[in-house]
Amino acid sequence: MRAYILRRLAQSVLVVWAVTTIMFFMFRVMPADPTAILLERGLSDEARLALMEEWGLTGSLWDQYVAYLGNIAQGDFGNSFFYRKPVWDVLFPLIVNTLWIAIPGLLMGAALGAAIGTAVGWAPRGGKLERSGIFLATVIRGVPNFVIGIALLTVFSSTLGWFPGFGMGDPGATTGFARYFTLDFLHHLALPLIAVTIYFLPENLLLMRSGVVENRTEDYIELVRAKGVPQRRVAWHAARNSMLPLITWLFPALAETIAGIVVIEIVFSWPGVGRELVLAVTRQDYPLAQAAFFLLAVMIVLANLAADLAYGKLDPRVVYK
Amino acid sequence: MTQATDDTAIRGRGLFSAMRDSVRLLMTDSFAVIGLLILGLFVLLALIGPWLAPYEPFKAMMTETGRLNRLAPPSAEHLLGTTAFGNDVLSQFLYGFRIALIVGLVAAVAVGFISTVFGVLSGYFGGYVDDVLMRLTDIALSIPTLPFAIVAVALLGPSIENIILVITILFWRNGARIIRSAVLTERERIYVKWARAAGASHAHIILRHILPNIVRIVFLWVTMSVAFAILTEASLSFLGLGDPTVVSWGQMLNIAFSSGNLRTAWWWVVPPSLALVLLVSSLYLIGRAYEEQTNPRLRRR
Amino acid sequence: MTGHQTLGPAAATALGQLNERLAAKPAAHLQVSGLSIHYSTLRGPFNAVDNVSFEVAAGTNLGLVGESGCGKSTVVKALMGLLPEMTRVTGQALLDGQNILGLSDADLQDVRWNRISLITQSAMNSLDPVYCIGDQICEAILAHEPVGKTVAWARAEQMFALVGLPAERLREFPHQFSGGMRQRAVIAMALALNAGMLLADEPTTALDPIMQSQIMSRIRGIHDHMRRSMILVTHDIAVVAETCETVVVMYAGKVAESGPTQDVLDRPLHPYTMGLQNAFPRLPVRGQPRKPLISIPGTVPNLLLPPAGCRFAGRCPFATNLCRSVAPPTYQIGAQSAACHYVERASQFRVAAAEPDTWRSMEPSR
Ligand SMILES: Nc1ncnc2c1ncn2[C@@H]1O[C@H](COP(=O)(O)OP(=O)(O)O)[C@@H](O)[C@H]1O
Ligand code: SF4
Ligand SMILES: [Mg+2]
């Protein structure tokens, strides 16, 4: 078990290293003039040289790469051009905001999807409930997340005025950590959260439905039925077994949520990491963009790591090697 | 086993007949048929859309008084009204079909081809090729898709070619994995062993035994790739990172959104949204039918 | 017995009451008549069981024999109400006078495990992989008896002791058990409520021969001691000889022959029974040479298109044109009955059937 965790950790570090290398090439080699991209415009020559020195942009590509890795290892991603302060000062507060919609949204989507998916999977094959459940879920799965966002925004915010559709709090609202526990915050949270939930629900539903359909013909389900327990209890056995693949899916999905949530953050002007990435890219604030991308990649690696460890907890058959 | 069946087992099966079988099976699934019908309609509109469009998509419309005809609701002249910049919505909408399907198709062919080549080589030959490929996909799977696309397109420049390139880079990895594991199962089948024992070449085995049997999985993956590609392009365009020289639905929505006209100009928002939903859903309906076919445990007995 | 030390006085009393209550259950009587079952398949109805009748007297064992695919498990599943939703079931199965066919799931809840329990064919896959064995046994007890988890667990420990498994292994998961242990766990589960009728569907097929005879003698031992009624499904006619008072031989969904085990095995009336006897090793009879094993050539016919006439005609060495066109009625001879046109020639057939050549000559006919 310990050995397994250590090996998985080492693997994760390796992946992070690979991602940073890809980033190095993306930001420095792909654009025609890397200095143009990495340095602010309109600097005097001395200032420019000083900055290049600081950024490790002098010397051969190899020297640059080593300097770059060194900086990253120390967590130094430089200063944001736009905000004129260290990128981490900009990004750290945003991580919480992203997680606030990513994790509850994903969990709600998973829970609702699993519940409905069990009902659909347990329904008679070829019946009304099964067919309409599959059809609706497949169609809703095809709705792009920004369309979900736009629809929610137009209906519940602009037209009905039930929920605010912009940002995390009204002007003059509580700031700091305490803000997350105000009614105002929850009011703002509602729509983006619903958007993420709807986005994840159908995929969960279909996954759970396949699992239940696969499991319901298994021998062990027959024995559970033979025991004369209530039908709900029998369905529960099938659902419980179908949850294993759902869990393996959930963590990479969390990773994808954190990544794909970009669009929902933009629609609802939710100040998260993804929105900041898009803003940074459009403002050509490359240090910030680089750090935001790195942050998202690390979140994904961690989510995958968590998935592997959680699976073993849920499936007694898994032995860590 | 008689001599005759031995021979067919060794000769394998034609790729095209396998494809035909797979399509025929698809037609037995009513949801897939709905999907195919919608897809067919979209392909038709992509072909003739620009020809049906009443105006140039970026042409600014003027009123009689010589002012910009902004945000006009649907009328006989502009069936779907105009945008905040006086463009005819119907024309932009019709041009959008072509972009969506070009992106979907090109990316899917590229993704399908690369995934299949890598998947088959790695699954069939195993060894070093396989090791390297698997490590590569491990890493590739940890790259956040949309953020990568955002950064890459921003750095490369927002052109439709670059968007397709980025989509290809992003999605080959999943496909290669899925196809590889399918090939691994096929490789162990008894008729493949017979064919090998009978001295068939690798190319023969791959073309006549492996590929025909993984056709459904490749089709499934290609269908899903079309959907992912269209979604990714639409998302990028919605974020303002699309190709500014062409009209796409995501871009239409981006402009409607960023100009603050979501609520007022429903005629501008609804058509591209609906078209995206229909197109992607139809692909998922088709994909689902393949999924059901490739998973024997889901089949009804 | 194990586990008692850890029980509090209240729980110990409750366990005692539970055990008494369960021990008081009488053995069940089962009368099956005219049972026909059609599976619904994509290519039309599949007549897996056709007009099957038999009776299990209270406290006796009935052996249900036949090759794989003859419909034995289908009969068992019908009795438990486990057939797929679309299956058409006709006929009657009176369990202590109450027809249990066609009951709703809610009504079946009282029948299942309370009055009939099941030892499944593939114990390997019959246990839910994500629950520990103890929980799965308790689930059955808790569904039917008004006791708490502690008491149910204590009862499960007793059942484990009965099948020779240590109580602490109740906490383990199915994958931690060997095949033989899993089979014993399933038996323990089947005994948990002391149901009046036990259905054992090939309880040993998945095991190696040594384990098979161990498990069978355990079943027999427990059974002698508890005096339940049992239907034992097997394709091994020798097991039936040791265990069952009556036997029903099924072929392709129909009853070929039935009667007291002794009579049927000593003087089989149906050529299929004679074939089955040849196909399984028999206990050697002193003074006679060991008989060679002869398998019946051919396979069970496809029941989507059941053959006209006798279903065994395609493989029967004594088949005539009559056999191929007219289905034989069931003839009663003493306590024995058989569905063959030529029951009166059975003694001749028995002599011929003992010759391997009789069966070998069948082979080229296809
Ligand atoms: N769910 C089902 N649907 C259709 N046919 C089935 C089903 N289950 C079993 N059968 C068929 O019914 C016949 C009898 O099967 P079964 O009762 O399992 O036989 P046995 O237990 O004697 O081996 C077989 O031909 C089998 O293929
Ligand atoms: S009826 Fe004819 S075919 Fe059938 S068992 Fe008797 S002799 Fe054989
Ligand atoms: Mg069976």
pLDDT tens profile A138-173: 888 888 888 888 888 887 776 776 767 666 665 555
Element (H, E) at B128: helix B127-140
Least confident range from A245-254, C212-221, C334-343: namely: A245-254
What's the mean per-residue pLDDT of chain C?
86
Q: For the residues C307-325, what does the mean pLDDT come to?
A: 90
At residue A18, does pLDDT exceed 90? Answer: no
Residue C357 CA to ligand 2 centre (angstroms): 18
pLDDT at C323 over 80: yes
Give the closest residue to C354 by CA, choosing from C301, C304, C290, C264: C290
ipTM, two decimals: 0.85
pLDDT by residue (tens digit) across A287-308?
A: 888 888 888 888 878 877 777 7
Looking from the CA of residue C323, the nearest atom of ligand 2 is: 2
CA distances from A59 to A16, A56, A66, A68, A263 (A): 25, 8, 11, 12, 39
Structure tokens at A149: 């966002």
Structure tokens at B14: 């034609």
Q: What residue's CA is closest to ligand 2, atom 5?
A: C340
Identify the pLDDT of residue C52: 94
- Identify all chain B residues contacting C41, using CB atoms and an 8 Å cutoff: 301
Residues B105 and B164: their CA atoms lie apart, in Å, by 10
Residue B64 exposed, middle or buried by CB count within 10 Å (0-12, 13-18, 19+): exposed
Phi, psi of B265 (to 5 degrees): -95, 70
C247, C264 contact by CB (below 8 A): yes
Q: Is C299 in the pocket of ligand 1 (CB under 6 A)?
A: no
Tokens of C271: 């050529």
Give chain A positions within 8 Å (CB) of B281: 138-139, 141-143
Question: Which residue in chain B has the smallest CA separation from A257?
Answer: B144
What per-residue confidence (pLDDT) applies to C366?
40
Name which residue leads in pLDDT, A171 or C142: C142
Structure tokens at B258: 């960023």
Pocket residues: Cβ below 6 A from ligand 2: C 270-271, 310, 312-313, 316, 318-319, 323, 328, 340-342
Which residue type sits at B67? Answer: R
A189 within 8 A of A167, measured Cβ to Cβ = no
Tell whether the model's pLDDT for residue C170 goes beyond 90.
Answer: yes
Q: What is the pLDDT of residue C235?
A: 80
Q: Across-strand partners of C233?
A: C64, C201
Q: Amino acid letter at A299?
A: M
Instruction: Quote the pLDDT of residue C364.
Output: 45
Chain B hits for A22, CB-CB cut-off 8 Å, are 143
- For residue B263, give the nearest of A159, A277, A281 by CB distance: A159
Q: pTM here?
A: 0.79
Give the model's pLDDT for residue C308.
86
Ligand 1 pocket test target in C74, C251, C305 with most atoms within 8 Å of CB: C74
C-alpha A21: how far from its chain's center? 22
Q: Choose the residue to mutate in C39, C75, C248, C249 for probing ligand 1, maximizing ligand atoms within 8 Å of C-beta.
A: C39
* Residue among C121, C173, C189 minimizing CB distance to A316: C173
Residues of chain B falling short of pLDDT 70? 1-13, 53, 55, 58-64, 66, 68-69, 71-72, 76, 78-80, 82-84, 86, 89, 295-301
Q: Could you identify the atom of ligand 1 that is nearest to the CA of residue C68?
A: 23
Say what percent of chain A tops pLDDT 90: 1
Best of A132, A261, A281, A299 to substitute, by most chain B Cβ atoms within 10 angstroms, is A281
Tokens of C305: 């298109």
From the CA of A222, how many Å to the nearest CA of chain C? 7
In this structure, which ligand is nearest to the CA of C65?
1
Judged by a CB distance cut-off of 8 A, whether residue A22 touches chain B is yes
Q: What is the pLDDT of residue C136?
A: 93
Extract the tokens encoding C37.
Answer: 């079952």
pLDDT surpassing 90 at residue C31? yes
The CA radius of gyration of chain B, in Å to the nearest whole number, is 23
Mean pLDDT (chain A) is: 78
Angle (CA) C72-C75-C77 rounded to 5° is: 110
> Cα–Cα distance between A170 and C330 in angstroms, integer?
88
Asked if the Cβ–Cβ distance from C41 to B301 is below 8 Å, we say yes
- What is the set of domains in chain C, with CATH numbers? 30-235 (3.40.50.300), 266-360 (no CATH)
Q: What is the pLDDT of residues C226-280, one digit of tens each?
A: 888 999 998 878 788 888 999 999 999 999 999 999 999 889 999 999 988 877 6
Q: Can you tell me which atom of ligand 1 is nearest the CA of C201? A: 21
A212 touches chain B (CB under 8 A): no
Q: Under an 8 A CB cutoff, do A150 and B269 touch?
A: yes
For residue C342, the model assigns a pLDDT of 92
Ligand 1 proximity of C54 Cβ (cutoff 6 Å): no
Give the closest of B147, B238, B280 to A142, CB-based: B280
Instruction: Please give the single-letter amino acid code of residue A94.
Output: L
Cα of B3 to nearest chain C Cα, Å: 18
Pick from A8, A16, A37, A139 the residue to mutate for testing the B interface (most B CBs within 10 Å). Answer: A139
Closest approach of chain B CAs to the CA of C42, in angstroms? 7
Please give the angle made by the CA atoms of A27, A28 and A30, to the nearest 5 degrees.
75
Q: Which two tokens stand for residue A32?
A: 């025609």
**Residues on chain C touching B29 (C-beta within 8 angstroms):** none
Residue C32 has pLDDT above 90, yes or no: yes
Residue owning the nearest CA to atom 25 of ligand 1? C69
Could you tell me the pLDDT band of residue A177, with boundaries at 50, 70 and 90?
low
Q: Phi/psi at C280 (nearest 5 deg)?
A: -120, 145
- pLDDT at site A173: 56
Q: Which residues contact C29 (CB under 8 A, 6 or more apart)?
A: C55, C56, C57, C58, C95, C96, C97, C229
3-class DSSP state for residue C232? strand
Q: Nearest-CA neighbor of C254 among C53, C113, C52, C107?
A: C52
Number of A/B CB contacts below 8 angstroms equals 150
Which residue, among C130, C138, C170, C189, would best test binding to A if mutated, counting the most A CBs under 10 Å from its CB? C130
- Partners of A18 on chain B (C-beta within 8 Å) are 139, 142
Helix (H, G, I), strand (E, B) or coil at C54: strand
pLDDT surpassing 50 at residue C3: no
Provide the 3-class DSSP secondary structure of residue C92: strand
For residues A212 and C49, the model is more confident at C49
Q: Are C70 and C250 in contact (CB under 8 A)?
A: yes
Interface test with C, best of A215, A216, A219, A223 (most C CBs within 10 A): A223
Q: Distance (Å, rounded) from C-alpha A246 to C-alpha C173? A: 21
How many Å apart are CA C299 and CA B276, to the nearest integer? 56
Centre of ligand 2 from the C-alpha of residue C242, in Å: 28
Contact of A174 with chain B, judged by CB distance below 8 Å, is answered with: no
Output C231 or A77, whichever has higher pLDDT.
C231
Closest-CA residue of chain C to A217: C84
Least confident of A58-67, A135-144, B271-280, C74-83: A58-67
- C113 to chain A: which residues are within 8 Å by CB? 226-228
pLDDT at res. A147: 87
Q: How far apart are the first and last CA of chain B?
A: 28
Q: Quote the pLDDT of residue A125.
A: 77
pLDDT bracket for residue A22 (50, 70, 90): confident
The position carrying tokens 């099966």 is B13
